[in-house]
Structure 1
Amino acid sequence: MKLVIAGGGTGGHLFPGIAVAEAWRQRAPAPEVAFVGTKGGIEARILPDSPFPLYTIEIGGIKGKSTVEKIRNILKIPASLWASLRLLGRLAPDVVLGVGGYASGPVVLAAWLRRIPCAIQEQNTHPGLTNRILAHFADRIFLAFEPEGSPFPPKKCIVTGNPIRQTLLSPPTAAQKEERGFTLLVFGGSQGARRINEAIIEILPQLAARGVRIIHQTGRTDYERVAQAYRDTGIPDGIATVTPFIDQMAQAYSTADLIVCRSGATTIAELTAIGRPAILVPYPHAAYDHQEKNARRLLEKGAARMILDRELTGKRLLDEILSLLESPETLRRISENAHSLGHPEAADAIVEALLPLAAQRQGITEGAAHEA
């Protein structure tokens, strides 16, 4: 059975797709998986080192773009739809799943035009424009959260949670925890976060004085500046690891005693699935303010701490870090509360719902071939 997963652009869209692809390979008979994305998305860097082939189409975003970019990208839509129709004709999938990102729209629509079963996965509490449109064509809609005034047709919806990659679900051993000191993991999503970077730079001397080890994903734009700040502070490489992007995220999560990060849907899903305590700094310009909503959901359950972006300073962040560093019991309680909210089975649940759609498609195509 062949599954095509469409979308990407950022880790928040790509990594749930990879999680579903991994589950598909484990559960589907004679499984095949292919991704469709764009050359400029994170998928073009991550997937070549994976077992999943990537095909690309030319498509761009509209929301948040300049007028010229909007016009240019709108004009690309007919060509991207035609390219998607041709590509699906060659790949002949049994089912198509859209995970968000620029490529998701034309590929899912092309699947519907070709009468290939299709589904979408919505990672956020408030769906974006693309998924609201695609919902009219999708056979199934997989939701990360219980719907609250959802615009989606209820009969199509299944609440699964956000899917998590298998590599992230292996907790560290007690021995591993004892071998190292208190470790702080800092990241701002796959593209980094300048505000978080600046706050951490401001408090590097104090963290170093407390013997805190740091793993810091800066994003590519900020890497040189942040790395130089670590060097200027005199923090040795054995104490701090500074990198533009963390490829081995499972290892970083397993090493961390505390995490400072944004609160995108995929990050929240990962934190809760593995049960890690975090100080969340919601990105203030996220669509429909979904990052603050995500963070508050955890905050209300005692499953995270939160600092709003406009309130983020080095001192405020340091106070939060030190209060948790000095209270292992609080860290343990936050971890347990976070873990209780997780959905580590989400990828399997999505595959379980996709398999009947794929089987239906195979039955139709086999029947047509027999009649011919």
Structure 2
Amino acid sequence: MKVLIAGGGTGGHLFPGIALAEEVVTRHHKNEVVFVGTERGLEAKVVPQAGFPLEFISVRGLKGKGFLQFLLGLLALPLAFIESIRILQRHKPDVVVGVGGYASGPVVMSAWLLGIPTAIQEQNALPGITNKILGRFVRVVFTAFEDARRFFPEGKVQLVGNPIRRKLMDNYLRSHVAHERFSVLVFGGSLGAKGLNQRVVDALGFLEDLKDQMTFVHQTGKNDLEMVRKGYADKGFQAEVVEFINDMSDAYARADLVVCRAGATTLAELTVCKKPSILVPFPYATDDHQAVNARAMVEAGAALMFREAELTGQKLAEQIRLLKTEPVRLKQMEKKAGLLGRPEASKELADVLVDLMVKVYGPNGRDRPPKPEAAKPSRSE
């Protein structure tokens, strides 16, 4: 089986694709996966590190752009379709899966035009515009939230959850890492989060009496790295502050509490790793989908959620202090997060892809020899 995975841009779109790719290649030594994205997206760095081949297309985003950028994006589309068709003809995939982000659009549509079986994976409760359009054409739509079902044609949706990378699954299977200090993991997604970073730094002044009892691991993104490092140093806190965390499995394993955004992939990781969390949804997310994503976590008692505009450093410090001093409640949140987890999502998604291939190509695959036709009776018979 050869699978082509298209899309990315951010970790929220890309990491489920990586998880699916890991599942596919570990099933059989002849299985292959190739990614298609853009040179500007996170995939340009992460996919080669994960050991998968990557192709690029010249595509730009359209929604939420100024007029000039929108025009440039439109002008780039014909070239993106030509590049997509060439990539598909070169790699000859058995199935194409779009994981969201504007790079997935031309590739999935080109595959549909060429008659290649297609699917999309929607991570959020409220789908993005690319997946809403592609959902009309693809054979299967994989979702992580029941709320997303209403946006796609009836009969196409498979509710499987968000695939989780194999390293994080290792975290799910192993015991909690012991440590002396209460450990808080902070991150705002693969590109960082200025508002979240600032509120955590502001909170430190209200937690100074606990600085000898706490430690932080904080992913800042590129722009706020020095500001956040200075904030911890000025208040005397023990902290590991980095631009990007390469080993999230280890970071989750060490964390007693997570303070983060509410992207769908992040929430899937929190549930599989059984981590209590304070969620601060990205305020400018399309259709406020991060707040919608977080609702199930909050309603289940696995997380607390605060709007960024309403959250002050003092309020955040109060919540961190409260959870630190109530280990029974923290343990209950861990348990409830775990009940929401879908650790088998990658396997279930890959199973459906295999079924799709069998339905389209038959049990022997795309390259099986044609079935011989029955001999036609002669006129004399």
- TM category (shorter chain) comes to over 0.9
For 1:152, the aligned partner's letter is F
Cα distance between partner residues in 2 of 1:207 and 1:173:
31
SS of the residue corresponding to residue 154 of structure 1 reads coil
Within a 5 Å distance, the mapping from 1:270-309 to structure 2 comes to 270-309=269-308
Contact map agreement 2:172 2:272 (CA 8 A) in 1: no
Q: CA deviation at 1:27?
A: 2.4
Report the 3-state secondary structure (helix = DSSP H, G, I; strand = E; otherwise coil) of the residue aligned with 1:203.
helix
Distance (whole Å) between structure 1 residues aligned to residue 264 and residue 348 of structure 2: 18
Report SS of the residue matched to 1:305: strand
Task: Give the deviation of 1:337 after TM superposition.
Answer: 0.7
3-state secondary structure, aligned to 2:120 = strand
Work out the number of aligned pairs and report it.
367
Output aligned runs, 1:223-302, within 5 Å: 223-235=225-237, 239-302=238-301
1:1-372 to 2 correspondence within 5 Å? Answer: 1-28=1-28, 30-147=30-147, 150-169=150-169, 170-171=171-172, 176-177=177-178, 179-210=179-210, 211-235=213-237, 239-359=238-358, 360-361=360-361, 363-367=365-369
> What is the alpha-carbon distance in structure 2 between the residues aligned to residue 370 and residue 185 of structure 1?
62
- Give the superposition deviation at 1:204: 2.3
Cα contact 2:38–2:58 (8 A) shared by 1: yes
Distance in 2 (CA, whole Å) between partners of 1:259 and 1:88 is 41
1:114-150 deviations in Å (ceiling 9; x for gaps): 1111100011111121111111221111011114661
Contact 1:192 1:217 in 2 (8 A): yes
Amino acid across the alignment from 1:317: L
Paired residue type of 2:186: V
Amino acid at match of 1:349: E
CA distance in 2, matches of 1:175, 1:346: 22
Q: Distance in 2 between matches of 1:20 and 1:370?
A: 36
How many Å apart are 1:106 and its aligned residue?
Answer: 0.6
Q: Gaps spanning 5+ residues in structure 1: where?
A: none
Amino acid of the structure 1 residue aligned with 2:59: I
- The secondary structure found in structure 1 opposite 2:55 is strand
Distance 1:233 1:172, change over 3 A: farther
Of 139-148 and 100-109, the range deviating more from structure 2: 139-148
Higher Rg: 2
Q: For residues 71 and 215 of structure 2, what CA distance do their matches in structure 1 show?
A: 47
SS in 1 for 2:131: helix
Q: Counterparts of 2:345 and 2:155 in 1: how far apart (Å)?
A: 19
Q: What is the CA distance between 1:113 and its match in structure 2?
A: 1.2
In the TM superposition, residue 232 of structure 1 has moved relative to its aligned partner by: 2.9
Say whether the 8 Å CA contact 1:172–1:255 is kept in structure 2. no
Contact 1:218 1:243 in 2 (8 A): yes
User: Which piece of structure 1 moves more, 123-132 or 81-90?
Assistant: 123-132
Normalising by structure 1, what TM-score? 0.94
Check whether the contact 1:105–1:134 (CA below 8 A) recurs between aligned residues: yes
Q: Secondary structure of the equivalent of 1:121?
A: strand
Moved more, 2-11 or 197-206: 197-206
Distance 1:353 1:175, change over 3 A: closer
Deviation at 1:310, TM superposition (A): 1.1
1:343, distance to aligned residue in structure 2 (A):
0.7
CA contact (8 A) 2:25 2:31 kept: yes
Closer, same or farther in 2 for the Cα pair 1:151/1:171, shift >3 Å?
closer
Indicate conservation of the 8 Å contact 1:215/1:240, yes or no.
yes
Q: Distance in 1 between matches of 2:372 and 2:246?
A: 47
RMSD: 1.9
- One-letter code aligned to 1:192: G
Shift of 1:192: 0.9
Q: Cα–Cα, structure 1 residues 308 and 89, in superposed 2: closer, same or farther, change >3 Å? A: same
- Please state whether the residue corresponding to 2:368 is helix, strand or coil: helix
Report the Cα distance in structure 1 between the residues aligned to 2:149 and 2:16, rounded to whole angstroms.
24
Question: Aligned partners of 1:172 and 1:93: how far apart in 2?
Answer: 33
- Per-residue Cα deviation, 1:213-266 (whole angstroms, up to 9, x for no partner): 00000011111222222233344xxx2100011000000001000000000111
Give 1:296 deviation, angstroms. 2.0
- Structure 2 unmatched ranges of 5 or more: 374-381
Q: What amino acid sits opposite 2:283 in the alignment?
A: P
Tell me if structure 2 keeps the 8 A contact 1:126–1:290: yes
d(CA) in 1 for partners of 2:199 and 2:346? 35
Separation in 1, partners of 2:70, 2:87: 25
Counterpart Cα distance in 2 of 1:105 and 1:246: 29
SS in 2 for 1:245: coil
Shift of the alpha carbon at 1:368?
A: 6.2
What TM-score comes out, normalization by structure 2 length? 0.92
Q: Give the C-alpha shift of residue 340 in structure 1.
A: 0.5
CA distance in 2, matches of 1:128, 1:203: 33
- Deviations along 1:124-182, one digit per CA (max 9) or x if unpaired, are 111121111111221111011114661211211110011111111224866732x3311
Q: 3-state DSSP class of the match of 1:150?
A: helix
Shift of the alpha carbon at 1:83? 0.4
